[in-house]
Amino acid sequence: MTRMTRKATRHTSQNEGLIFEKSSPGKAAFKLPPLDVPEVDAAQLLGSSERKDLGNMPEVSEIEIIRHFTRLSTWNYAIDLGMYPLGSCTMKYNPRVNEVVTRLPGLANGHPYQPEKISQGALRIIKTLSECLTEITGMEAITLQPAAGAHGELTGLLLVRGYLESKGNPRKKILIPDSAHGTNPATAATVGYAVENLKSNAQGMVDVPSLVAQMNEDVAALMLTNPNTLGVFEQEIHKIAEIMHAKGGLLYMDGANMNALVGKARPGDFGVDVMHLNLHKTFSTPHGGGGPGSGPVAVKQCLEPFLPKPVIVTKADGTLGFDYNRPQSVGRVRAFYGNFGMFTRALAYILANGPDGLRQTTEDAVLNANYIRKELEDVYDLPYSTPSMHEVVFSDKLQAKQGVKTGDIAKRLIDYGFHPYTVSFPLIVHGALMIEPTESESKQELDLFIEAMRSIAQEVQEEPQMVLEAPHHTRVSRLDEVAAARNPVLRWKPAAQ
Amino acid sequence: MRYLPKSPTDREAMLKAIGARSIHELFEPIPAQYRLKRDLNVPRQMAESEIMDWFDQCSRENGDEYSIFLGAGAYYHYRPVIIDSLISRGEFLTAYTPYQPEVSQGTLQSIFEFQTMISELTGMEVANASMYDGSTASTEAVLMATRLTGRRSVTVARSLHPEYREVLATYAWHQGIRLSTASFGENGRINLKEFDKSLTPDTACILIQSPNFLGTIEDVAAVADIAHKHGALLVVAIAEAVSLGIVEPPRQADIIAMEAQSFGVPLGFGGPYCGVIATREQYVRQMPGRLVGQTTDRKGKRGFVLTLATREQHIRREKATSNICTNQALVALMANIFMTVYGKVGLKELAKQNLAKTAYAASKFGKHARMLFASAPRFNEFVVETKEDPYAINHRLLGHKIVGGFPLKKFLPELGNAALWCCTEMTSRTAIDTAAGVLRESEATEPARETAEVAR
């Protein structure tokens, strides 16, 4: 408790209630221009469909709104404040030029149904990004329609299903390693496939003999994350792809960890048939407190006919347009063309990097993870000694002896001025601490993090109870999540009612 | 590279600490034959000024000076400037999903307020933290209804946004859910008799949109009565959120799937937008997506957390209510700020301006062309049938810097030369008068030959 932390200092933050608690009749933050057409009588136009009352909507002034949200914002941790080492989430710097280009008027105000003739700029952005991502992944075609990673997974499995159906049998099962993200099995179920678990071997990789035993003509695909959630590259990837292909199955790659590969290796070259990317991870679009994301799906040529429609084409006159005539398409997964605003951001990131920058980025991400691993492996248990790529997974085995678990260490890290790492995932590591620094951290910031983690390890030995009660310096202490779920209060209601 | 905070000396020191000879050693886990030995074939590294120029050019090629009469699921409304000021704060912009509540109270409280306002406006008891968009929200609402009822058939109104219908069809196909269609009548509303007959004991729900894709406000109470009589649930999609300021919300619905784009979210060529699902409290455990709940900390202080996570994929895996993980949080924050700015009085006044502009445009257009579905109330969209192909009319309008209505034949070929026009508070009387003038000229002369390719 008395230990000094170099990263952060406590300072006063503003209290703020709910916006509804500031509301009172007659206050307003809007002003509409005078109407340039005749007024109408809503009751006459709408009859019984006219709404009389908007309930408990707030009435506040502009300065109150600015203060309200600014105060709330100061209660968040953010990449802009410091290292955000969430494993598998790739919390890298979100460049500001991305935000500016996205707000250029022609792009921000472009209507999705405006004529193609006056949409050439947007179409060119889609086409250029598609080409860049196809090259980066080593694949042959792509759709940008999916709105997030899980939505990309869904699209990818629909493509698998469409392809296999065209061959006469969609098959029944998807194989998923026990180290996979929860979205993988949830997605397989959404697409109507049964999920079969595939166990990992002692090195934390796919157990190839198990794969051989489980692969048969009922299996549509294997969903593999590579590097996997332990941050380990699947060294037998070529065998894995061969085993799948020999029995007519496909290899799906979850691209959540693509930040370890860009410019260094391409999934298309190592046998992947279909994969999704997360533009909000690898390509620097902001996480925004949980979204929006974007989950493009890249495929080999054999899956191209099945891509969601429309697809972008160059027309006879050289202009760009959409092609809706796609008889084998799996259909649409979203209205319009996807999260276009994320395409502009991701493309701006790629242009800012170029081939040399993208490669250096990957190298720095891997360097940072290995540096943390080296500097912490004597105080935290390393369950798998297999080399790490862009993230490292420790366990709380040494600290658990004092009754302190990964979640407690994470909460204490907050007091040191850092956001916690990913807690208790992947599931194959009991008490996992999953740390992904990304390339965006300087050596100084990494050293502060290492110092904090070492200091906490010492605190666990000396004053475990203090760690168990962390965080100590936040606005709120640990919150009662059990009560929140047992008696859900999901909205504000006025006290008087 | 300007985003990377390391000097060559730093890199050397770190490699030395690791005990690696060079950076290449760290990539040796990748089999040699798969290591890329060349530069990626992507454009060279650009300066910030070059990036600005490249996108400026794209922006200019994207029609940035037109008055638009397009709605059809994406609406052009004024965005108060404080929306971008506030969402650009790094603490909102660059934060992750609020899984660690002690350092995420800002995001959590704002979502709690969003859930509250959406509940108020839709007349529902609870709303979630967001879905991808209106189309996927509608689809997920239908899947939710099949879980709640244990039934496997769904009736979908033909007046639902056609792209929402397509998305539902994509999901339903692989889940073995049977879809049937209920047509619309002369007034643009769902054909109640036909709809009544289409329901079976296996019907999980009926999915309608109001105001629907033709701009018509449905008689939700009548539809609800029929659905409930058959033990089916009523799911109502709302694509134009501003309508909630003046149109009675579909309170009789069991689930509402909404697109909140109209609440301060840029058109942005179709996304990112903001889907939301709202429903009754009794159904909340089958709701997809994240939910924020109120609770207390160890000292009894009010705070907020993500809750009821046992519905979600990271806990339940293949038994989850949905595979959704990342949602549209920052876009929901835009909508949240928009709702706060306009509030109880402003939303109503804003909606009323939309109503007035639309009534004016409809009266002007109605003098020269036939108005379809005019007998039922509408909000800010209306359907105009012309003798001439609407693509040809739109082509001429482009010359006046106007983007005309949406030709409906693309999705509803039975409507021939009808087009869907939309007016919002952003539509000027001048633009309406100009468009009406072009329409008058077009309808006064004999229609030209089919010119379908002219102005797509």
Q: Report the 10 Å Cβ neighbour count for A410.
A: 22
CATH classification of A97-350, choosing from 3.40.50.1000, 3.40.50.300, 3.40.50.261, 3.40.640.10? 3.40.640.10
What distance in Å separates residue A480's CA from the closest CA in chain B?
6
Which of A366, A368, A491 should be substituted to probe chain B, the one whose Cβ sees the most B Cβ atoms within 10 Å? A491
Tell me how many degrees the CA angle A335-B248-B339 measures, rounded to the nearest 5. Answer: 65
CB contact under 8 A, B317 and A195: yes
pLDDT recorded at residue B455: 47
pLDDT recorded at residue B268: 97
**CA dihedral of residues A396, A401, A403, A409 (deg, nearest 10):** -30
What residues of chain A lie within 8 A of the CB of B43, using their CB? 132, 350-351, 354
pLDDT recorded at residue B173: 87
Which of A59, A139, A436, A490 should be substituted to probe chain B, the one whose Cβ sees the most B Cβ atoms within 10 Å? A490
Length of chain A: 497
What distance in Å separates residue A32's CA from the closest CA in chain B?
7
Is the pLDDT confidence value at A1 over 70? no
pLDDT recorded at residue A4: 66
Domain spans in chain B, listed from the N-terminal domain onward: 8-52, 67-77+344-444, 82-339
Q: Which segments of A377-491 does DSSP mark as H helices, in order? A: 397-400, 406-415, 443-462, 464-468, 481-486
- Token representation of residue A160: 């698998």
Overall pTM > 0.90:
yes
What residues of chain B lie within 8 A of the CB of A238, using their CB? 31, 33-34
- Find all residues with CB under 8 Å of B186, minimum gap 6, and list them: B373, B375
Report the helix count and the strand count for chain B, using DSSP H and E. 14, 15
Q: How far apart (Å, rounded) are the C-alpha atoms in residues B229 and B248?
A: 22
Which of A21, A69, A155 should be substituted to probe chain B, the one whose Cβ sees the most B Cβ atoms within 10 Å? A69
> Which residue is it, tokens 């889940």?
B175
CB contact under 8 A, A183 and B325: yes
Q: Report the 10 Å Cβ neighbour count for A127.
A: 15
pLDDT mean over A88-114: 97
Secondary structure (3-state) at A417: coil
Q: How far is CA A183 from the centre of its chain?
A: 11
Q: Report the 10 Å Cβ neighbour count for A299.
A: 29
pLDDT recorded at residue A313: 97
Is the pLDDT confidence value at A2 over 90? no
What distance in Å separates residue B36's CA from the closest CA in chain A?
5
What distance in Å separates residue B202's CA from the closest CA in chain A?
20
Please indicate if any CB of chain B lies within 8 Å of the CB of A440.
yes
pLDDT recorded at residue B446: 65
pLDDT recorded at residue B320: 85
CATH architecture of B82-339: 3-Layer(aba) Sandwich (3.40)
Asked if B72 and B404 touch (Cβ cutoff 8 Å), the reply is: no
- pLDDT tens for A44-68 read 999 999 999 999 999 999 999 999 9
pLDDT recorded at residue B319: 85
CA-based nearest residue in chain B for residue A33? B425
Q: Which CATH superfamily is domain A362-476 in?
A: Aspartate Aminotransferase, domain 1 (3.90.1150.10)
pLDDT recorded at residue B452: 47
What distance in Å separates residue B246's CA from the closest CA in chain A?
5
Residue B14: which of A112, A192, A443 has the nearest Cβ? Answer: A443
pLDDT recorded at residue A291: 93
Q: Report the 10 Å Cβ neighbour count for B183.
A: 13
pLDDT recorded at residue B456: 54
CATH architecture of B67-77+344-444: Alpha-Beta Complex (3.90)
pLDDT recorded at residue B445: 79
What distance in Å separates residue B116's CA from the closest CA in chain A?
5
What distance in Å separates residue B456's CA from the closest CA in chain A?
5
Of the candidates A182, A146, A363, which has an alpha carbon nearest to the alpha carbon of residue A275?
A146
Q: How far apart (Å, rounded) are the C-alpha atoms in residues B81 and A30?
A: 11
CB contact under 8 A, B117 and A57: yes
CB contact under 8 A, B48 and A97: yes
Which of B75, B92, B96 should be substituted to probe chain A, the one whose Cβ sees the most A Cβ atoms within 10 Å? B96
- pLDDT tens for A223-281 read 999 999 999 999 999 999 999 999 999 999 999 999 999 999 999 999 999 999 999 99
Q: What is the DSSP letter of B256?
A: E
Q: Return the sign of the alpha-carbon dihedral for residues B20, B26, B29, B30.
A: negative
CB contact under 8 A, B42 and A441: no
Secondary structure (3-state) at B363: helix
Residue A428, φ and ψ in degrees, nearest 5: -75, -10
CB contact under 8 A, B307 and A103: no
Mean pLDDT by 10 residues, chain B (456 residues): 97 98 97 97 98 97 92 98 98 97 98 98 97 97 97 97 98 92 96 93 98 98 97 98 98 98 98 98 95 97 94 83 90 98 98 98 96 96 97 96 97 96 98 97 71 49
Q: How far apart (Å, rounded) are the C-alpha atoms in residues A27 and B45?
A: 50
What residues of chain A lie within 8 A of the CB of B312, using their CB? 182
What residues of chain A lie within 8 A of the CB of B247, using their CB? 46, 49-51
Q: Which segments of A138-279 does DSSP mark as H helices, in order? A: 149-166, 183-190, 208-214, 237-246
Length of chain B: 456
CB contact under 8 A, A161 and B161: no
Domain spans in chain A, listed from the N-terminal domain onward: 97-350, 362-476
pLDDT recorded at residue B317: 83
Q: State how far the alpha carbon of A113 is from the alpha carbons of A224, B70, B136, B408, in Å.
A: 37, 7, 19, 12
The angle that helices B429-444 and B329-365 make with each other, rounded to 10 degrees, is: 50
Asked if B110 and B336 touch (Cβ cutoff 8 Å), the reply is: yes
- pLDDT tens for A22-52 read 999 999 999 999 999 999 999 999 999 999 9
Identify each DSSP E strand in B168-291 by its residue range: 178-182, 203-209, 233-238, 255-259, 275-279
Q: Report the 10 Å Cβ neighbour count for A364.
A: 25
pLDDT recorded at residue B323: 87
